[in-house]
């Protein structure tokens, strides 16, 4: 089950944050096809966002073909994302935790780490 967290200071609209969190949970194998997403009421209660915001996030995910709303039953994961085997993710996550710890010890803040990772992912200049 996904527990949503909305960062009001991020500059990213709440519905996009919710959608991103569902996608990340799918990529990490935390959400599988057939899993039920939290109800709109539950998301509102735990994250403090408006019900229309949750509905917009779920609608966007549905339009992307990732989830399916079933009348009276809820919203369910329709497909999977990610290609890594779950058993491969654990060791990689441990290495990443070590790297992030080292980066923070070197004085990098979260935004610095994010910028560095994005630059590496994009194949930017070295």
Sorted by where each begins, the domain ranges of the chain are 14-77, 86-121
Cα distances (Å, whole numbers) of residue 56 to 33, 39, 62, 63, 114: 21, 13, 10, 10, 27
1.10.630.10, 3.40.50.150, 3.40.1280.10, 1.10.10.10: CATH of 14-77 = 1.10.10.10
What was the pLDDT predicted at 91? 87
What was the pLDDT predicted at 22? 95
The yes-or-no verdict on residue 28 having pLDDT over 60 is yes
| Per-residue pLDDT reduced to its tens digit, 45-72 | 999 899 999 999 999 999 999 999 999 9
Place of tokens 């935390």: 30
| Per-residue pLDDT reduced to its tens digit, 67-90 | 999 999 999 999 888 767 777 888
**Prediction pTM value:** 0.74
Chain mean pLDDT for the chain: 90
């Amino acid at each position: 089950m996904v527990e949503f967290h909305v960062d009001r200071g991020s500059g990213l609209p709440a519905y996009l944050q919710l959608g991103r969190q569902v996608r990340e949970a799918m990529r990490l194998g935390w959400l599988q096809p057939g899993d039920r997403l939290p109800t709109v009421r539950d998301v509102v209660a735990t994250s403090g966002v408006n019900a229309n915001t949750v509905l917009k996030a779920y609608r966007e995910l549905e339009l992307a073909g990732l989830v399916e709303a079933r009348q009276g039953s809820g919203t369910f994961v329709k497909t999977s994302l990610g290609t890594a085997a779950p058993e491969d993710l654990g060791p990689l996550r441990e290495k990443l935790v070590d790297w992030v710890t080292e980066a923070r010890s070197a004085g990098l803040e979260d935004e610095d780490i994010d910028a560095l990772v994005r630059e590496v992912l994009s194949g930017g200049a070295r």
